[in-house]
């Protein structure tokens, strides 16, 4: 119970600080009225709600790169990492630009789970959905100096130690949920340490501050291939093409492990013509060979759902994750 209370205090403190920052910087003003046929006629403000190097950052920058290469957006796209509070800062910033057709952001698991933990003032329901593009699974890794080379060895180590320090991106996020599910089913205890930045997460694992970490394959495969980390479990249904020897959770007896939704949203009350324009435009991006290569390279599963279908998916996923979080005492 003590570790759950500590986690809740840590989460609340981080998100409160993030929301305070948003309140100080938000302008809350929409751009002036414009005709649908003139859109887009201004620079786009693209928010990445996490730090550089993470899965959210990687996907956002790939989308922007393809939009530029295919000359699909006629003006400049300004990109800024507005990390903090498990996405609360970045999505709070976008939320403050209600009605603005020139504000956009990519989603992750925190887009659903952060509002479940604290009073952010917004939920996924407030934003205008463009589309779900893919789902992202996770790789469970340990420092190679630990000499742990299998999941069975890890479980024995964790039980022997009594409680292990494990890390992931975000506080009450999919990474936390995965750690909690695996620990409960395998019978060991965790002290979860959240990070906003992938680089900090990896540094902590390599320095010995963490016993294990959960990360997206795109961010961590290189460290495993270089021999600095050892992959013990992959949460996808099929083995990683780049690390086929790493067993899947299902092969080890862990069913129905959640995945990360990778999608695109506009500011609340953004006009329908902006939503329609972005849906039509991103549909051109996702059929390109370069986007297909990106999915393959980063071990993402394509899952295309547009507009209201994406919103329905978010609602269903939110209900499932909320159930797990309540079961594990992360939220009341």
Residues in the chain: 332
pLDDT at 12 over 70: no
- Nearest-angstrom CA–CA distance, 191 and 213: 11
Grade residue 200 by pLDDT with cuts at 50, 70 and 90.
Answer: very high
pLDDT in tens, 59-108: 999 999 999 999 999 999 999 999 988 899 999 999 999 999 999 999 98
Q: Which distant-in-sequence residues (6+ apart) come within 8 Å of 289 by Cβ?
A: none
Q: Of 144, 168, 146, give the one whose Cα is nearest residue 158.
A: 146
* 3-state helix/strand/coil string of 10-79: HHHHHHHHHHHHHHHHCCCCCCCCCCHHHCCCCCEEEEECCCCCCHHHHHHHHHHHHHHHCCCCCCCEEE
Grade residue 53 by pLDDT with cuts at 50, 70 and 90.
Answer: confident
Q: Which distant-in-sequence residues (6+ apart) come within 8 Å of 142 by Cβ?
A: 148, 154, 205, 211, 212, 213, 229, 230, 232
Higher pLDDT, 298 or 41: 41
Mean pLDDT of 195-199: 85
Grade residue 23 by pLDDT with cuts at 50, 70 and 90.
Answer: very low
Give the residue range(s) of CATH 3.40.190.150 domains in the chain: 2-135+260-327
Q: Percent of the chain at pLDDT above 90?
A: 66
Q: Percent of the chain at pLDDT above 70?
A: 90
Grade residue 325 by pLDDT with cuts at 50, 70 and 90.
Answer: confident
- Nearest-angstrom CA–CA distance, 301 and 290: 15
**Computed from CA positions of residues 259, 328, 162, 202, in that sequence, does the dihedral angle turn out positive or negative?**
positive
Give the residue range(s) of CATH 3.40.190.10 domains in the chain: 139-252
The enclosing H or E element of 215 equals: strand 212-215
Grade residue 227 by pLDDT with cuts at 50, 70 and 90.
Answer: very high
* Fold of the 139-252 domain: D-Maltodextrin-Binding Protein; domain 2 (3.40.190)
**pLDDT score recorded for residue 324:** 81
pTM here is 0.74
pLDDT at 202 over 90: yes
Q: Which CATH number fits domain 2-135+260-327: 3.40.50.1820, 2.40.30.10, 3.30.360.10, 3.40.190.150?
A: 3.40.190.150
Mean pLDDT of 165-184: 90
pLDDT in tens, 105-139: 999 888 998 898 888 999 999 999 999 999 889 99
For the chain, the average pLDDT equals 89
3-state helix, strand, coil in the chain (%, to 5): 45, 20, 35
pLDDT in tens, 310-324: 999 999 888 888 888
Grade residue 298 by pLDDT with cuts at 50, 70 and 90.
Answer: confident
DSSP bridge partners of 38: none
**Computed from CA positions of residues 79, 80, 83, 86, in that sequence, does the dihedral angle turn out positive or negative?**
negative
Higher pLDDT, 242 or 228: 228
Mean pLDDT of 157-161: 97
């Amino acid at each position: 119970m003590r570790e759950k209370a500590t986690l809740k205090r840590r989460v609340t403190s981080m998100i409160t600080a993030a929301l305070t920052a948003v309140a100080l910087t938000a302008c809350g003003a929409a751009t002036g009225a414009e005709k649908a046929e003139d859109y887009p006629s201004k620079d786009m403000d693209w928010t990445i709600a996490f730090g550089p190097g993470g899965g959210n950052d990687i996907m956002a920058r790939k989308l922007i790169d393809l939009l530029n290469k295919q000359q699909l957006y006629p003006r400049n796209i300004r990109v800024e990492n507005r990390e903090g509070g498990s996405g609360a800062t970045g999505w709070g910033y976008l939320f403050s630009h209600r009605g603005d057709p020139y504000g956009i952001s990519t989603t992750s698991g925190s887009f659903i789970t952060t509002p479940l933990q604290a009073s952010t003032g917004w939920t996924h329901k407030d934003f205008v959905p463009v589309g779900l593009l893919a789902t992202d699974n996770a790789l469970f890794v340990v420092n190679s100096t630990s000499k742990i080379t299998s999941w069975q060895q890890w479980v024995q180590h964790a039980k022997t130690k009594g409680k292990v320090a494990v890390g992931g991106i975000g506080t009450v996020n999919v990474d936390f949920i995965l750690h909690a599910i695996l620990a409960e089913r395998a019978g060991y205890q965790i002290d979860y340490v959240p990070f906003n930045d992938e680089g900090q997460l990896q540094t902590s694992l390599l320095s010995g501050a963490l016993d294990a970490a959960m990360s997206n394959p795109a961010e961590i495969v290189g460290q495993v291939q270089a021999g600095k980390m050892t992959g013990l479990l992959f949460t996808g249904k099929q083995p990683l093409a780049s690390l086929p020897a790493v067993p899947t959770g299902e092969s080890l007896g862990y069913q129905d492990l959640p995945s990360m939704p990778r999608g695109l949203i506009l500011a609340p009350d953004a006009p329908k013509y902006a939503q329609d324009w972005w849906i039509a435009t991103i549909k051109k991006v996702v059929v390109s060979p370069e986007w297909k290569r990106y999915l393959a390279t980063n071990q993402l599963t394509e899952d295309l759902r547009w507009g209201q279908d994406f919103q329905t998916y978010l609602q269903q996923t939110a209900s499932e994750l909320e159930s797990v979080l309540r079961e594990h005492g992360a939220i009341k």
